[in-house]
Chain A
Amino acid sequence: MTTTPAQDVQPKTRGQRFTGAAANYIDERTSISGLVKEVGRKIFPDHWSFMLGEVALYSFIVILLSGTFLTFFFEASMVEVHYEGSYAPLKGIEMSAAMASTLDISFDIRGGLLMRQIHHWAALLFVASIGLHMLRVYFTGAFRKPREINWFIGFVLFVLAMAEGFTGYSLPDDLLSGNGLRIIDGMVKGIPVIGTWISYLLFGGEFPGVDIVSRLYILHIMLLPAIIIAAIGIHMLLLVINKHTQFAGPGRTNDNVVGSPVMPGFAAKAGGFFFIIFGVITLIASTFSINPVWVYGPYDPSPVSAGTQPDWYIGFADGALRLVPPGWETEWFGFTWSFNIIAPLVILGLFIAIVAFYPFIEAWVTGDKREHHIADRPRNAPTRTAIGAAGVTFYAVLWAAASSDLIATHFKLSIEGVIHSCQALLIFGPIIAYFLTKRVCIGLQKKDREIALHGYESGRIVRLPHGEYIEVHEQLDDYELWKLVSYDDYKPLMVRPDAQGRITVGQKFRASVSRWFFEDRIAPVSQKEIEQSKDEHH
Chain B
Amino acid sequence: MADDHGDTAGSTAAGKDVEQHGAPAHSAGTAVVATDEVPNPGFPPHRPRVTDLDPKVDKQQERRVSTMFLLSIVGSVLAVVAYFVFPIEPGNMQSVRNNTLFLGLGITLGLLGIGIGAVHWSKALMQGHDLVEQRHGTRGSEETRAKAVEVFTLGNEDSGFGRRTLLRRSLIGALVVTPLPAIVLFRDLAPADNPVTLLKHTFWEEGMRLTRDPSGTPIKASDLTIGSAFQVIPEGLNDSEHRIEEKAKASVLLVRLKPEDLEVSEGREDWNYDGIVAYSKICTHVGCPVALYEQQTHHLLCPCHQSQFDIKREAAVIFGPAKRPLPQLPITVDSEGYLIAKSDFTEPIGPSFWERKL
* A contacts, CB < 8 Å to B: 41-43, 46, 86-88, 106-111, 113-114, 117, 146, 179, 182-183, 185-187, 189-197, 199-209, 211, 241-243, 250-261, 264-266, 268-269, 271-280, 282-283, 285-287, 299-308, 318, 321-329, 331, 334-336, 338, 340-341, 365-371, 373, 404-405, 415-416, 419, 478-479, 481-482, 485-486, 488-494, 496, 514, 518, 523-528, 530
Q: Which of A46, A205, A304 sits near B303, CB closer than 8 Å?
A: A304
Contact B29 A201 (CB under 8 A): no
Q: Which of A41, A256, A268 sits near B118, CB closer than 8 Å?
A: A268
A350 vs B352: C-alpha distance in the bound complex, in angstroms?
23
Q: Which residues in window 127-144 of B have CB below 8 A to A? A: 127, 130-135, 137-138
What is the 8 Å Cβ interface bit string for chain B, positions 90-103, against chain A (1 contact, 0 not)?
Answer: 11000010011111
A258 contacts which chain B residues (CB < 8 A)?
Answer: 43, 130-132
Contact B189 A202 (CB under 8 A): yes
A184 vs B3: C-alpha distance in the bound complex, in angstroms?
50
A201 vs B358: C-alpha distance in the bound complex, in angstroms?
20
Contact A251 B42 (CB under 8 A): yes
What is the 8 Å Cβ interface bit string for chain B, positions 9-42, against chain A (1 contact, 0 not)?
Answer: 0010001111100000011111110101111111
Q: Which of B15, B287, B322 sits near A185, CB closer than 8 Å?
A: B287
Q: Which of B15, B44, B358 sits near A255, CB closer than 8 Å?
A: B15
A405 vs B288: C-alpha distance in the bound complex, in angstroms?
15
Please tell me if B338 contacts chain A, counting CB pairs below 8 Å: no
A106 contacts which chain B residues (CB < 8 A)?
Answer: 96
A186 vs B322: C-alpha distance in the bound complex, in angstroms?
12
Please tell me if B286 contacts chain A, counting CB pairs below 8 Å: yes
A341 contacts which chain B residues (CB < 8 A)?
Answer: 286, 352
Q: Which residues in window 102-131 of B have CB below 8 A to A? A: 102-105, 107-112, 114-123, 126-127, 130-131
* B contacts, CB < 8 Å to A: 2-4, 11, 15-19, 26-32, 34, 36-44, 83, 87-88, 90-91, 96, 99-105, 107-112, 114-123, 126-127, 130-135, 137-138, 186-187, 189-191, 193, 195-196, 198-199, 213-214, 231, 233, 242, 244-245, 247-249, 251, 281-283, 285-289, 291-292, 301, 303-306, 317-324, 350-358
A335 vs B358: C-alpha distance in the bound complex, in angstroms?
7
Contact A110 B103 (CB under 8 A): yes
Minimum CB distance partner of B120 in chain A: A272
Q: Smallest distance from the beta carbon of A280 to chain B beta carbons, Å?
A: 8
A265 vs B131: C-alpha distance in the bound complex, in angstroms?
11
Q: Which of A255, A278, A307 sits near B18, CB closer than 8 Å?
A: A255
A368 vs B27: C-alpha distance in the bound complex, in angstroms?
6
Contact A286 B108 (CB under 8 A): yes
Q: Which of A189, A257, A527 sits near B352, CB closer than 8 Å?
A: A189
Q: Which of A299, A367, A493, A530 sits near B244, CB closer than 8 Å?
A: A299
Contact B321 A324 (CB under 8 A): yes
Minimum CB distance partner of A276 in chain B: B115
With most chain A CB atoms within 10 A of its CB, the pick from B37, B187, B191, B351 is: B351
Contact B17 A193 (CB under 8 A): no
B287 contacts which chain A residues (CB < 8 A)?
Answer: 182-183, 185-186, 189, 207
Q: Which 10 A-B pairs have the closest CB atoms?
A: A286-B104, A186-B286, A272-B118, A367-B29, A275-B115, A279-B111, A251-B43, A276-B115, A329-B323, A86-B90
A204 contacts which chain B residues (CB < 8 A)?
Answer: 189-191
Minimum CB distance partner of A518 in chain B: B30
A261 contacts which chain B residues (CB < 8 A)?
Answer: 127, 131
Contact B119 A273 (CB under 8 A): yes
Contact B118 A415 (CB under 8 A): no
Q: Which of B16, B115, B351 sits near A279, CB closer than 8 Å?
A: B115
B358 contacts which chain A residues (CB < 8 A)?
Answer: 334-335
Contact A271 B321 (CB under 8 A): no
Q: Smallest distance from the beta carbon of B299 to chain A beta carbons, Å?
A: 11
Contact B286 A190 (CB under 8 A): yes
Contact B27 A486 (CB under 8 A): no
B91 contacts which chain A residues (CB < 8 A)?
Answer: 86-88
Q: Smallest distance from the beta carbon of B282 to chain A beta carbons, Å?
A: 8
Contact A208 B303 (CB under 8 A): no
Q: Smallest distance from the beta carbon of B332 to chain A beta carbons, Å?
A: 23
Q: Given A113-B96, A250-B41, A272-B114, A404 and B306 touching (CB < 8 A)?
A: yes
A481 vs B38: C-alpha distance in the bound complex, in angstroms?
9
Contact A405 B306 (CB under 8 A): yes
A530 contacts which chain B residues (CB < 8 A)?
Answer: 38
B36 contacts which chain A residues (CB < 8 A)?
Answer: 526-528
Contact A203 B323 (CB under 8 A): no
A199 contacts which chain B residues (CB < 8 A)?
Answer: 195, 353
Q: List 8 A-B contacts (CB under 8 A).
A: A179-B289, A252-B40, A258-B43, A282-B111, A287-B101, A287-B104, A335-B355, A340-B323
Contact B32 A523 (CB under 8 A): yes
Q: Smallest distance from the beta carbon of B240 to chain A beta carbons, Å?
A: 13
Contact A208 B245 (CB under 8 A): yes
Contact A253 B121 (CB under 8 A): no
Contact B138 A304 (CB under 8 A): no
Contact A336 B353 (CB under 8 A): yes
Contact B41 A279 (CB under 8 A): no
Contact A111 B40 (CB under 8 A): no
A322 contacts which chain B residues (CB < 8 A)?
Answer: 305-306, 320-321
Q: Smallest distance from the beta carbon of B139 to chain A beta carbons, Å?
A: 8
A283 vs B115: C-alpha distance in the bound complex, in angstroms?
14
B105 contacts which chain A residues (CB < 8 A)?
Answer: 283, 286
B34 contacts which chain A residues (CB < 8 A)?
Answer: 489, 524, 526
Contact A272 B242 (CB under 8 A): no
A518 contacts which chain B residues (CB < 8 A)?
Answer: 30
